Structure 1
Amino acid sequence: MRWTLKPKPEAHKVEALKEALQVNTLVASLLIQRGIESYEEAKQFFRPSLDDLHDPYLMKDMTLAVERIKSALALKENILVYGDYDVDGTTAVALMSSYLRTRTASVATYIPDRYKEGYGISFEGIDFACDNDFSLVIALDCGIKAVDKIKYAKERGIDFIICDHHRPGEHIPEAIAVLDPKQNDCKYPYKELCGCGVGFKLVQALAEKEGKTMEDLIPYLDLVAIAIGADMVPITGENRIMAYVGLQVINSLPRVGIQALIAQIKKSELTITDVVFIIAPRINAAGRMKHGDHAVALLTETKYDLAAQYAAEIERFNLDRRDTDKQITEEALTQIEVLKEQSRYTTVVYNESWHKGVIGIVASRLTETYYRPTLVFTKSGDKLAASARSVSGFDVYNALEACSDYIEQFGGHKYAAGLTLREENYEAFKQTFEDVVSRTIDKHLLMPEIKIDAKIQLKEIDAKLWRIIKQFAPFGPGNMTPIFMTDDLIDTGYGRCVGDDKTHLRLTVTGANTDNHKFVAIGFGMGDKLEMVSTGQPFSTVYSIDENEWQGHLSLQLKLRDIKAQNNG
């Protein structure tokens, strides 16, 4: 792995913040690296407040959206809440429909079938709205590129409000209102909302007109926090505030559907990491293995007994998903080995029988294995569909745009995207994608990077530092767990491999020279490093600080990210 030590912040800024907050140099430096340079910014960071959310009416078309919904409510029109089948989409649909049902009974939800309709707004969905007398559709986490679909809806007398956060194409759909902070002419101050976040801003704007306060909207933030974690948007600005408060809701008084999920996993206090790796995969499993409607039903249910049944059903989908993605990952790895494509700058694999619902997960696993921009294709109707994943620092969306001659449809983000193409264009696309990436990628990006916040000594780690670091949470993109580096360490002789398969490493480290502080260090999947650290020679480590509870006793430990022999730098 490539170790990159972040530049030290300017000394005068560190001194000024130290003085303002009465903290040490290390804490002041960590804060400045996160863009926090004043007492006021630090106060907002450590005490996230809903009062600091932006005025929703700063978003382009917000007034138009609110006025159209108010008109629909006044005239008792039927409203269809439409959303994507992933976590961001299903939580957004649950949020919007839950809120609107406090105002009218004329609300229904629609999640497109991943296999029959594909991603986003579909002609089938518009026909459903028309056939069932829905005159207004609110689309969440999709729609920004649905120019032809919105035109079709207009011809059928259906109005659309689009709430999306994906990058717009060259043309914007002619909907009644298009809420997307990534539009070039949208002046909204925060650009990194997820789809559910954009939906929440619309609810906030509606509530404001109805004389409600932010306190009234807190119960909806459990859904927003889950979407923020699952969609991997930056946990900065508004996202951090909503994730922070949303986690409090999840851990104190979540909606019954989330209660039912938590009851299955038997965990007392959930972090954003638990949301990403435990809650989100279960919600996602519905759309991957069966239908996103199941997730919406769970998240909008008000009776616990029914929610528990839905949660059990979703857990079965999740177990199926695990088995399927494990099998496909093994097949994809074999395909790469057989084709001897490890030396390419990209990983592109295809099998017509692979389950469309898990190719995104498989793409992520292949990216972890080979650390290349990755595409996993399967057959979808008469076309091929793919999920794309990228490596840190490389914009796969831009790379796909450069291959658009061969693509039918695509959309997404810098690090994750989806696309469809005709089967006859697969080989030409594959080669063009390889050519584009090989020509444009910085070769350093093909080696996984660990970004290190600070180089410290073990004696700087104490309970006070840990208390402050815990207040940096919730962690995620834009606000990652602080990572430290320490040189001149040795194992005290207790190093061993642990775990059922002995693949993990447990050490007790101390300074080789003057620093005789000792810490237990755990390295998951790092059992192969035991021989190196057992020589008695000093080594360097990169790690985060963690808390370990054993028989009721709490102690600090190091969570290892990498180890290098001292002479290897």
Structure 2
Amino acid sequence: MRWTLKPKPDSLTVAKLASDLGVETPIASLLVQRGIETFEEAKKFFRPSLDDLHDPFLMKDMEAAVNRIALAVEREENIMVYGDYDVDGTTSVALMSSFLKSFYPNVATYIPDRYDEGYGVSYKGIDFAADNDISLIIALDCGIKAIEKVAYASSKNVDFIICDHHRPGAEIPNAVAVLDPKREDCEYPYKELCGCGVGFKLLQAWVQKNGDPIDILLPYLDLVATAIGADIVPITGENRILAYHGLHVINTAPRTGFKAILEQVKKEILTITDVVFIIAPRINAAGRMKHGLHAVNLLVEDNEETAKLFASEIEIFNSDRRNADKAITVEALSQIEILKEQERFTTVVYQEDWHKGVIGIVASRLTETYYRPTLVFTKSGEKLAASARSVKGFDVYDALEACKEHIEQFGGHKYAAGLTLAETQYEDFKRKFEEVVSGSIDKNLLTPEILIDAEIELEDITPKFHRILKQFAPHGPGNMSPSFLTQNLKDTGYAKCVGAEADHLKCRLQQGNSDFAINAIGFNLGQKCELLANSQRVKAVYAIDENEWQGNVSLQLRLKDISL
């Protein structure tokens, strides 16, 4: 692991903020690192308000989108809400369809089949709309590159409103409205919304135009928060406001579908991390193993008994997903072991019978293990389909762009993307991808990095310090849970390896000659246990957690790494 200590912020700015807020210097320093330098900015950070959301009409084409929906309602047209089969897509469809249905009945939902139609807008979906007298499609979390498909829909008298957040290509589809803050000609001030977030902005514009208070959208923010967490977008600006209020909804008044999921896992208070690792995989499992509409049906269901049936069904999909994921990961790792001596800068593996629904998860696991830009391919009809994942700091989307002569279709983000290509292009693509990555990646990025916010003393860790730290949540890119460095540590004699495989480290640490000691746990750090032998002095990087045992709550360090 590379340890990188962030630069210390300006000491005068930190001192003034500490004084204005009445907090300790380490807290003020963490805030300044996050761009928060005044009392007013700190107030907005600690108390995110819906009043601070941007005017949705700043987004290009928003007026046209709202007017087209109003016209559809006035003419009693049939509307189809269309979205991708992942968490962002299915929550978007649930959000838009349930809101529209609250005042207008002629609303259908459509999720493409991952295996039959693939990612994004499909000709089959457009034909379904045309055959069922649907004249308006609202596409969410997809569509920004659907030039030919939007033109095809237009030839069948089907209009499109696109709500997307992916990077556009050279051309924008000729739709009634294309809402995407990443459009070069869009001056919307916040660029990092997820697909569900763009859908929410359309709803915000609708209620604003109709003179309703934004509070009527609060019950829908649990869906937006789930999409924000699952899509790993920055939890800054508007995303932080939406995630903060959405988590509050999940924890105080969860929709029936979420309640049914949470009853299966017996979890009470959820953080954004819990949403990512508990709710999101289950929603995703429907689209991965069966069909994304199963997830939408659960998310919009009001009847508790029906929701419980849907949730137990999705629990089975999730279990099947886990089994497939484990089996494929083992097979992929064995392929890599054979290739390891080649000293490659990329990891590219392929097996034609791997389950298309889990190759993205497998790609993430391989990236964690070997820390290389990674592609996992499988056979999809006559083509090969792949999921791409990247290491921190390297834009895999740009790398795929440089290989597009070998690719039929691709899309995604900086750290995650998907593509299809002809089987005859596989070897050429693989060669080109290695060439592009090896020629452009900073070699340091191939070693995992721990970013450290600040060096502190153990005695800085007081209940008040932690109480304020908790208010930095929700955490995510752009606002990660703070990591700290402390030096001159020794174990008090309790260090031991724990866990079924003895792969975790448990110890109790003191600093220097101080009597103050604190418990610490290091997951997957069992091999470092010997560093703590014989009262040897070490330094450690860690986060601060609460540990509950037999009703008692105490602070503990969650170790990320230790070294001499």
TM range (shorter): over 0.9
1:234-313 → structure 2 map (5 Å cutoff): 234-313=234-313
Cα distance between partner residues in 1 of 2:392 and 2:500: 32
Q: Report what 1:164 is aligned to.
A: 164
Q: Report what 2:174 is aligned to.
A: 174
Cα distance between partner residues in 2 of 1:410 and 1:88: 18
User: Which amino acid is 1:526 matched to?
Assistant: L
Unaligned runs of 5+ in 1: none
1:493-504 → structure 2 map (5 Å cutoff): 493-504=493-504
1:209-224 → structure 2 map (5 Å cutoff): 209-224=209-224
Pairwise CA distance, 1:114: 0.2
User: Which amino acid is 1:542 matched to?
Assistant: V
Pairwise CA distance, 1:342: 6.1
Cα distance between partner residues in 1 of 2:502 and 2:132: 59
Q: Report what 1:525 is aligned to.
A: 524
Pairwise CA distance, 1:255: 1.1
Work out whether 1:132 is the aligned partner of 2:136.
Answer: no
Work out whether 1:62 is the aligned partner of 2:91.
Answer: no
1:470-549 → structure 2 map (5 Å cutoff): 470-511=470-511, 513-549=512-548
Q: Report what 2:206 is aligned to.
A: 206
Cα distance between partner residues in 1 of 2:283 and 2:516: 44
Cα distance between partner residues in 2 of 1:549 and 1:325: 32
Q: Report what 2:469 is aligned to.
A: 469
CA-to-partner distance for each residue in 1:266-308, whole Å, 9 max, x for gaps?
Answer: 1111110100001000000000000000000000111111011
Q: Report what 2:14 is aligned to.
A: 14
CA-to-partner distance for each residue in 1:172-211, whole Å, 9 max, x for gaps?
Answer: 0000000000001101110000000000000111111222
Pairwise CA distance, 1:531: 1.3
Cα distance between partner residues in 1 of 2:340 and 2:557: 38
Cα distance between partner residues in 2 of 1:197 and 1:208: 16
Q: Report what 1:559 is aligned to.
A: 558
User: Which amino acid is 2:558 matched to?
Assistant: K
Work out whether 1:106 is the aligned partner of 2:106.
Answer: yes
Cα distance between partner residues in 1 of 2:12 and 2:529: 42
State the SS of the aligned residue for 1:138. strand
Q: Would the aligned equivalents of 1:336 and 1:342 in 2 still touch at CA under 8 Å?
A: no
Q: Would the aligned equivalents of 1:329 and 1:366 in 2 still touch at CA under 8 Å?
A: yes
Q: Would the aligned equivalents of 1:73 and 1:103 in 2 still touch at CA under 8 Å?
A: no
Q: Report what 2:45 is aligned to.
A: 45
Cα distance between partner residues in 2 of 1:210 and 1:60: 19
Cα distance between partner residues in 1 of 2:396 and 2:290: 28
Q: Report what 2:459 is aligned to.
A: 459
CA-to-partner distance for each residue in 1:296-349, whole Å, 9 max, x for gaps?
Answer: 000011111101100000000000000000000000000111233562100000
Pairwise CA distance, 1:93: 0.1
User: Which amino acid is 2:398 matched to?
Assistant: N
Q: Report what 1:26 is aligned to.
A: 26
User: Which amino acid is 2:360 matched to?
Assistant: G
Q: Report what 1:345 is aligned to.
A: 345
CA-to-partner distance for each residue in 1:486-536, whole Å, 9 max, x for gaps?
Answer: 11111111111112222111001111x233320100001111111121132
Cα distance between partner residues in 2 of 1:237 and 1:7: 23
Q: Would the aligned equivalents of 1:89 and 1:195 in 2 still touch at CA under 8 Å?
A: yes
Q: Report what 2:445 is aligned to.
A: 445
Cα distance between partner residues in 1 of 2:148 and 2:13: 52
Cα distance between partner residues in 2 of 1:351 and 1:482: 40
State the SS of the aligned residue for 2:352. coil
Q: Would the aligned equivalents of 1:341 and 1:347 in 2 still touch at CA under 8 Å?
A: no
Work out whether 1:187 is the aligned partner of 2:187.
Answer: yes
Q: Report what 1:196 is aligned to.
A: 196
How many equivalent residue pairs? 564
Q: Report what 1:357 is aligned to.
A: 357
State the SS of the aligned residue for 2:124. helix
Cα distance between partner residues in 1 of 2:355 and 2:387: 12
Cα distance between partner residues in 2 of 1:228 and 1:340: 36
Cα distance between partner residues in 1 of 2:349 and 2:553: 46
Cα distance between partner residues in 2 of 1:341 and 1:441: 20
Cα distance between partner residues in 2 of 1:403 and 1:268: 46
Cα distance between partner residues in 2 of 1:494 and 1:12: 41
Stretch moving more, 199-208 or 83-92: 199-208
Pairwise CA distance, 1:145: 0.4
Cα distance between partner residues in 2 of 1:508 and 1:22: 31
State the SS of the aligned residue for 1:278. helix
Q: Would the aligned equivalents of 1:372 and 1:390 in 2 still touch at CA under 8 Å?
A: yes
Cα distance between partner residues in 1 of 2:78 and 2:411: 30
Q: Report what 2:378 is aligned to.
A: 378
User: Which amino acid is 1:462 matched to?
Assistant: T
Cα distance between partner residues in 2 of 1:15 and 1:29: 8
Q: Would the aligned equivalents of 1:332 and 1:349 in 2 still touch at CA under 8 Å?
A: yes
Cα distance between partner residues in 2 of 1:201 and 1:348: 38
Cα distance between partner residues in 1 of 2:340 and 2:199: 46
Q: Report what 2:79 is aligned to.
A: 79
State the SS of the aligned residue for 2:534. coil
Pairwise CA distance, 1:550: 1.0
CA-to-partner distance for each residue in 1:421-440, whole Å, 9 max, x for gaps?
Answer: 11111001001100100010
Q: Report what 1:409 is aligned to.
A: 409
Stretch moving more, 162-171 or 530-539: 530-539
Cα distance between partner residues in 1 of 2:386 and 2:271: 31
Cα distance between partner residues in 2 of 1:444 and 1:275: 32
CA-to-partner distance for each residue in 1:111-147, whole Å, 9 max, x for gaps?
Answer: 0000000000001110111111100000000000000
Cα distance between partner residues in 1 of 2:476 and 2:239: 10
Q: Would the aligned equivalents of 1:6 and 1:454 in 2 still touch at CA under 8 Å?
A: yes
Q: Would the aligned equivalents of 1:324 and 1:358 in 2 still touch at CA under 8 Å?
A: yes
Cα distance between partner residues in 1 of 2:438 and 2:12: 42
Q: Report what 2:391 is aligned to.
A: 391
Stretch moving more, 90-99 or 337-346: 337-346
User: Which amino acid is 1:157 matched to?
Assistant: N
Q: Would the aligned equivalents of 1:540 and 1:563 in 2 still touch at CA under 8 Å?
A: yes
Cα distance between partner residues in 1 of 2:558 and 2:145: 43
Pairwise CA distance, 1:90: 0.2
User: Which amino acid is 1:539 matched to?
Assistant: V
Stretch moving more, 209-218 or 225-234: 209-218
CA-to-partner distance for each residue in 1:329-373, whole Å, 9 max, x for gaps?
Answer: 000000111233562100000001000000000000000000000
Cα distance between partner residues in 1 of 2:332 and 2:342: 12
RMSD of equivalent CA atoms: 0.8
Cα distance between partner residues in 2 of 1:213 and 1:343: 59
User: Which amino acid is 2:547 matched to?
Assistant: N
